[in-house]
Amino acid sequence: MIHTTRRQKPFTEINTAPFTDIILVLMAIFMVTTPLVMQSNIQVNLPSSSTGKPMKEARQISVMATNEGMIYLDNKLISRKALKVEIAKLHQDDPALEVILYSDKMVRFKDIVGLLDIFNELNIKNLNIATKTE
């Protein structure tokens, strides 16, 4: 009896089906979680209001004042001077610009008045103060 040993060729192809499945699952996960991550992670404890109304769809920017004295423009830390310059640019581009002020309920009133002064100097007509509804 003669035994001939057959050598098998090494398997050199990569099966891409599992890789494609993993990529599709990761893409679905990122598509679902991205809007949640993009929401603001700046914590502001809004005051309550019984007459609050939901926001309407318009070109809006958000200004946040925290209890620590920090100011954010669309979730980016900014100084008062830079805030004034940025809002002036945005208001010049879009005169119907709507500014929404998110302020922690523990922020000193003089800080809020300072922000309102900036908006008044820039002739911002569409200004809303965000609250929680009861």
Residue partners of 63: CB distance under 8 A and separation at least 6: 71, 72, 73, 83, 87, 99, 100, 101, 102, 115
Express the helix, strand and coil content of the chain in percent, nearest 5 each. Answer: 35, 20, 45
**pLDDT, tens digit, 9 for 90 and up, residues 38-84:** 555 666 666 666 665 555 555 788 898 988 888 999 888 999 999 99
Kind and range of the H or E element at 84? helix 80-93
Q: Is the pLDDT of residue 15 over 70?
A: yes
Domains and CATH numbers, the chain: 59-133 (3.30.420.270)
Query: In the prediction, which pLDDT does 115 show?
Result: 92
**Per-residue tokens: 52:** 């609050």
**pLDDT, tens digit, 9 for 90 and up, residues 88-123:** 999 898 888 889 898 888 888 899 999 999 999 999
- Can you state the angle between helices 109-121 and 80-93, rounded to 10 degrees? 40
